[in-house]
Chain A
Amino acid sequence: DAKTTQPNSMESNEEEPVHLPCNHSTISGTDYIHWYRQLPSQGPEYVIHGLTSNVNNRMASLAIAEDRKSSTLILHRATLRDAAVYYCILRVPIQGAQKLVFGQGTRLTINP
């Protein structure tokens, strides 16, 4: 399975933008890029996904490089509730569905 590489940890201040990078140099043409986050003692939750174009939703923005070998999750104004482990994931096809191949993620700390 194709893999992703993320920094182990990042730190930011409340109400500032946060840019979380991800490398996925072995991505194939049909792999979607997903971001999930996991708050303490909870299961992962979906944040955003994309294939080629940049994407925006109410939670975040996803910027995808033109060659698709890297992407950046952007939190526009971080809050304390955004402190979590953020996973950059490639969604890999399996029979009739997709499985999520998680890496180790980036632990994001938000300072008040």
Chain B
Amino acid sequence: DTGVSQDPRHKITKRGQNVTFRCDPISEHNRLYWYRQTLGQGPEFLTYFQNEAQLEKSRLLSDRFSAERPKGSFSTLEIQRTEQGDSAMYLCASSEPSGTPAYEQYFGPGTRLTVT
């Protein structure tokens, strides 16, 4: 498999519960990004990892959100005490190390979260 994978693809949870999503990037990519997409809107940047280091976080990432990338491989995004406003598609992307001309980001299929 050469693409970015995300798990689960769909998650339904009740308000107040915690949820965790996983992203497996393309194996040789050391850069990993999380975006959030609400219905009818374009994706919004949430956070970025270079290897295991989280180097950039958006103001959208409230203190209920936490992301990790242990050992610089897969990443997890956790949302604590979910709210209905957290309902969205959570997209993961990865890209190659610096020096690659395009800096193209490869996106996974996303995890659709519904908070009831």
Contacts and interface: CB of A to CB of B under 8 A. Distances in A.
Majority secondary structure, A binding face = strand
Nearest to A41: B109
Contact of B48 (A49, A87, A94, A102): A94
Contact of B56 (A45, A85, A95, A101): A95
Interface in A29-48: 32, 41-46
The contact size tier of chain B is: 20 to 34
A49 B101 CA distance: 10
Given A96-B50, A97-B48, A97-B55, A43 B107 contact: yes
Given A41-B109, A43-B108, A45-B107, A99 B48 contact: yes
B25 interface: no
10 contacts: A43-B91, A43-B108, A43-B110, A44-B43, A44-B91, A45-B107, A49-B102, A85-B42, A103-B42, A105-B42
Interface of B: 4, 31, 33, 35, 40-45, 48, 50, 55-56, 91, 93, 95, 98, 102-110
